[in-house]
Amino acid sequence: MATVPVLPKLIGERVKRREDPRLIQGRGTYVDDVKIAGLQHLAFKRSDVAHARIRSIDTSAAEAMEGVEAVFTGAQMAEMIPMGVATPAPTNRAIAVDTVRYVGEPVAVVVAIDRYVARDAADAIVVDYEGLPAVVDPERAMDDGVPQLHTEFPNNLAVRLMPSGTGAPPGGTPDDTAIDKAFAAAEVVIEQRMVNHRLVPNAIEPRGVVAHFEPGKGSMTIWSSTQNPHTLRNVIAGLTGLGQDQVRAIAPEVGGGFGAKINIYPEECVTAVVSQRLGIPVKWIEDRSEAFVATTHGRGIIGYLEMAARRDGKVLGVRLRLIADIGAYNMLGTSVIPTLTMLMANATYDFPAIRTTLTEVFTNKTPTDAYRGAGRPEATYFIERGMDMLAQELKMDPAEVRRKNLIPKEKFPYHTQMGAVYDSGDYEKALDAALAFANWNGLKAERDKARAEGRLVGLGLAMYVEVCGVGPSWLMPGTGGWEHSQVTVQRDGRISATTGVSPQGQGNETTFGQMLADQFGVPIEHVTILHGDTAVAKQGIGTFGSRSQAVGGTALHMAGTKVKAKMARFAAALLEAHEDDIVFENGRISVKGAPARGKSFAEVAWFAYIPTPLPEGLEPGLSESAFFEPTNNTYPFGCVICMLEIDRETGEPKLLKVSAVDDAGNLINPMIVEGQIHGGLAQGIGQAMIEEVVYGDDGQLLTGSLMDYALPRAADFPRFELESTVTPTPVNPLGAKGVGEAGTMGSTPAIVAAAVDALSEFGVKHIDMMLRPEKLWRIIHGPRQRSGQGGQA
Amino acid sequence: MVHVSMKVNGKARKAQVEPRMLLVHFLREHLLLTGAHVGCDTSQCGACTVLLDGRTVKSCTVFAAQASGSEITTIEGLATDGRLHPVQEGFWEEHGLQCGYCTPGMIMSAVSLLTDNPKPTEQQIRDGIGGNICRCTGYQHIVNAIQYAANKR
């Protein structure tokens, strides 16, 4: 008998990505690569002032230009109000009608023969503004007498002092007894105002849209660089008066998202409506300077932290007052993201009492929304900085003060003061693994030796827990929180599977292929994963909140399980065996214990489609779908350690070491997981060290291009050192938690802690990000009483 | 309109274009070579990097007319006879890409780097790709990919 080749199990293996051959040869199809005969191009005229009334718009010169098809102002699209959000929100039209509220807000749109003419015509539009004072500082924005962005939101308050935590049920009156008691019993209290500053997500592919309304069919196809094609389909259908069956949304190859491509943006809506009105295909491609003002920003939260503790390091209570600078309007997740900072204020600790309050403030800036981490890095940052300040005050090792407060593993599932239920965890194990992996004691000796040589070297450590696997539906009333998949075994034995989660670089075609190859015992080359086209993958919610594997992967697994069970029944009939005795391996389906009694996978598939005779109780065919509704989120966790040196002469910080232990539960492809962690670390380090949005007092974005806003380059990083612990989640059958955002969590507080440690000889307690050399130089060289941040400990 | 004539991936190409037509748009719109991407307006990101007479240029900062008379190599012209270039192979082997948008430009820069310095140190690699921004990978796997290619040669 011929030897049957043994197929290796692929789950847990470093399988090379199936996406890569096309991408490394320039054969991917991103949205700007979509060409349609007769395609015309859009360009937006955008506000170049932060706050003004529009007196008039003169489009005559633009309309007179050769090659211009049409020009639309806000008044001509006044009915277009793209986004509905759950909280009370001001009207946010796709194109401004009478008032502009941030630099970059669309004022008019041009349709022209090519992108050069469209840009020329947009530049030829003249807008006469009546200037209004700009509101820039979120704390001053709340004062009486400050100009109002939206008359229906007095004092620019989008959300007015929402309490949460111990004794504060949602919507109820907060009972402060427990938190007041904690502070009354405190032997030491830490207090610090901290800024978790705004960032621009900066996916390297800017956004873009192609809309093709076909008047003959009465249907629309829309391509967009989006994380959520299904939500896009639903929104565009609502906006255009078409049915969800008449709109096909396609997320082609998407060049990075990082949360900023979750929203359904004004430009997507305008592109669709222009195509419908004119009956022609149209394209809009964002340029980088537009991306800086027209794509949502991230972070932008001020935290006032108070931490009450005993002198032995045990924390008794935490107060955290949050002020979120949300910009001019509510986008899809604008109001929700800062609530995640509240949700995760419990961090990895068994705090007896917490009181958080959240205020969200309108300012004349680009709206904020999800950016990798989305509210959780902010929480991690505020609490971890607090733990460091406590350690410094008590002269304790930062690892030991944390150890004293970690949630013990026996307490899982752990009900936090903030209302979350942490699914599973072993935080002390992660801490110990990190200390051992980085050689914490060795690093301390190294630091001390460097200091003895006069060098400014510091160490930082941070723990994190984040919320991932985002669902369930009750948490996401706007869209639902499930995922969907359909798995089909074709009659030739090949497998096609759809998923509602469409990646922007996460490699789902590979990981999901690994899963089905193992599940059916077939080569991965026989599995095709289809995504990002609502005509193919008809249902889905989207890619965000590190949910692809935990929620989307589970739906895939469930659909696969259904098909496999049915295929086993066909095989049982063919092989005259019981379905429970059927095994799938090495591309064959056979009877357990009798491998010779079997058929090839393809033979059984063929029989399922041409069943003669049809086994009793079975319908022909092998195609099943599943919706997975998670019962809870997942809570990955970990610990980051870093070492940093500051140049005494220039103040320039240099990262010497980054070492991370992450626990994301079970891993499908460790290579892809490493890539995700690297990317998250890079964005966290970017925030801590070089990235920062700066607005002028007039509301002008001063960091509006890649020449003014620093994105990390290869030489900005040391080699990242990664280790993992594995604590599976009980929330889904895969035991997978999600890892896409993990790297952004612990990196910012660990780096700031290292900088503070490096500058310990100057009596520094806290330094706000980012670590601009000038800021550090002033601490080293400036008079301490004038440095503003030194000498307060 | 101006007449341009250049060899792209070994093939002679001629066209009438606007004087202001950027090389990247000429490649993408006229020749339908969409591998070179546009990621910024200011020559920072390097997603549009191609080789012009064997040297890297950011094709968003070169007019098509300026490139007339030269030889251009784009990502589409890198593999020969169906065999991946060692740098392409390295990116696949070492997970040197995620979303893939910066990848063509990054690969072209790496090709040029290895032409100048066949056995670069890690620091030389990191400095050598300083004109290309990747937002996904944190660069470590890109460095590994380039090291893979260097060791392969």
Band of the pLDDT at A364, cuts 50, 70, 90?
Answer: very high
Flag whether the pTM goes above 0.90.
yes
Cα A210 to its chain centre, rounded Å, is 24
pLDDT of residue A298: 98
Q: Which of B99, B107, B135 sits opposite A202 (nearest CB)?
A: B135
Average the pLDDT over A684-697 and give the result: 98
The CA distance from B74 to the nearest CA of chain A, in Å, is 9
Long-range own/partner contacts, residues A615-623 (CB < 8 A, 24 or more apart): A615/A569, A615/A570, A615/A572, A615/A573, A618/A566, A618/A569, A618/A570, A618/A573, A622/A488, A622/A489, A622/A563, A622/A566, A622/A567, A622/A570, A623/A486, A623/A487, A623/A488, A623/A489, A623/A563
Work out the percent of chain A whose per-residue pLDDT is above 90: 94
Among chain B residues, CA nearest to A20: B92
Contact residues for A203 (Cβ-Cβ < 8 A; gap 6+): A225, A255, A256, A257, A258, A260, A261, A504, B99, B101, B135
Tokens (6 digits) for A190: 């830490």
Residue of A204, A656, A683, A741 to mutate when probing chain B, most B C-beta within 10 A: A204
Mean pLDDT value of segment A500-510: 97
Written as six digits, the tokens of B64 are 């098509």
Q: Percentage of chain A surpassing pLDDT 70?
A: 98
- Where residue A790 falls among pLDDT bands split at 50, 70, 90? very low
**Could you tell me if A204 and B135 are in contact, meaning their C-beta atoms sit under 8 angstroms apart?**
yes
Q: DSSP letter for A383, please.
A: H
pLDDT at residue A80, as a whole number: 81
Q: What pLDDT score does A2 carry?
A: 45
Q: What average pLDDT does the segment A424-437 reach?
A: 98
A717 touching B, CB under 8 A?
Answer: yes
Q: What is the mean pLDDT of chain A?
A: 96
Which of B61, B84, B69 shows the shortest CA–CA distance to B145? B84
Kindly state whether B126 is in contact with chain A, defined as any CB-CB distance less than 8 angstroms.
yes
Residue B69 Cα, gap to closest chain A Cα (Å): 24
Name chain A contacts of B74, Cβ cutoff 8 Å.
26
Whether the predicted pLDDT of A788 surpasses 80 = no
8 Å CB contact of A671 and B39: no
Mind giving me the DSSP string for A750-793? HHHHHHHHHTGGGT----PSS--HHHHHHHHHS-HHHHSSSS--
B2-22: burial string, b at 16+ Cβ within 10 Å, e else? eebebebbeeebebebbeebb
- pLDDT at res. A429: 98
For residue A142, the 8-state DSSP code is G
User: Which of B 31-50 lie inside 8 A of A, CB atoms?
Assistant: 32-42, 44-45, 47
- Smallest Cα distance from B68 to chain A, Å: 21
Residues A105-147: pLDDT tens digits?
A: 999 999 999 999 999 999 999 999 999 999 999 999 999 999 9
The residues pairing with B2 across neighbouring beta strands, listed in sequence order, are B17
- The DSSP code sequence of A204-250 is SSPPEEEEEEETTTTEEEEEES-S-HHHHHHHHHHHHT--TTSEEEE
pLDDT (average), residues A451-480: 95
Q: Identify the weakest region by mean pLDDT among A5-9, A132-136, A401-405, A549-553.
A: A5-9
Among the partner residues B36, B97, B130, nearest to A24 by beta-carbon distance? B97
A-to-B residue pairs, Cβ atoms closer than 8 angstroms: 178
Q: Tens digit of pLDDT for each residue in A156-171?
A: 999 998 999 999 988 7
Q: What is the ipTM of this complex?
A: 0.99
Q: Please report residues of B whose CB lies closer than 8 A to that of A16.
A: 92-93, 95
A36 touches chain B (CB under 8 A): no
Residues in chain B where the model's pLDDT stays below 70? none
Q: Return the residue of A nearest to B133 by Cα.
A: A713
Contact B33 A35 (CB under 8 A): no
Q: Does any CB of chain A come closer than 8 Å to the CB of residue B78?
A: yes
Angle between helices B86-93 and B140-152 (to 10 degrees): 140
pLDDT band, residue A5 (cuts 50/70/90): low
Any chain B CB within 8 A of the CB of A704? no
Burial annotation A608-635 (CB, 10 A radius, 16+ → b, else e): beebeeebeeeeebbbbbbebebebbbb
Q: A661-680 pLDDT, tens per residue?
A: 999 999 999 999 999 999 99
- Pairwise CB contact (< 8 Å): A17 & B95: yes
For residue A83, pLDDT over 90 is answered with: no
**Is-contact A283 A275, C-beta < 8 A?**
no
CB contact under 8 A, A25 and B79: yes
**CA dist., res. A155 & res. B126, Å (int):** 49
By C-alpha distance, the chain A residue nearest B90 is A24
Say if the Cβ atoms of B75 and A26 lie within 8 Å: yes
Q: Do B41 and A506 touch (CB under 8 A)?
A: no
Residue closest to A224 by CA, chosen among A211, A237, A236: A211
Cβ distance of A24 and B100 shorter than 8 Å: yes
Length of chain B: 153
User: Quick check: helix, strand or coil at residue B30?
Assistant: helix
**Cβ contact B95–A19 (<8 Å):** no
Which residue of chain B comes nearest to A27, CA vs CA? B35
